[in-house]
Amino acid sequence: MQALKHIHMTLAIITILGFLFRCALLFKQSPMLQKKWLKITPHIIDTLLLASGITLWVTWYGAVSMPWLNFKVLMIIAYIVFGIITFKTQTKALRGIAFTLAIGSFATILYIARTKTLPW
């Protein structure tokens, strides 16, 4: 089970590093962002991250509902939505705001994962 936890944490790091890399390309308006592998790889990594997270949840907690875990799931949804807005919007100001909110959501996810408490 520890191995799965480490895989999950590694995938989380890869996910955020990939997001930051793709955002750097986006903000530089790099044509490299159109490469097929840069469009497909994040979906594969995120699917593996989600699958490992669900497996950990089922294995360690079962169907028990915990406020910190519920909020973490909400923050994951927020991270996804803000990430989509970052890449889909044409407005630079909105792109910057969405990027900042995505990073803030991810930081909150890390905090909750580490402490198993709500951030307030």
Cα dist. 118→2, 50, 55, 66 in Å? 24, 21, 22, 10
> One-letter amino acid identity for 77?
I
pLDDT of 63-87, one tens digit each? 667 888 889 989 999 999 999 999 9
pTM of the model: 0.89
pLDDT 10s digits, 4-19: 999 999 999 999 999 9
**Distance between CA 108 and CA 114 in Å, rounded?**
10
d(CA 79, CA 75) in angstroms, rounded, equals 6
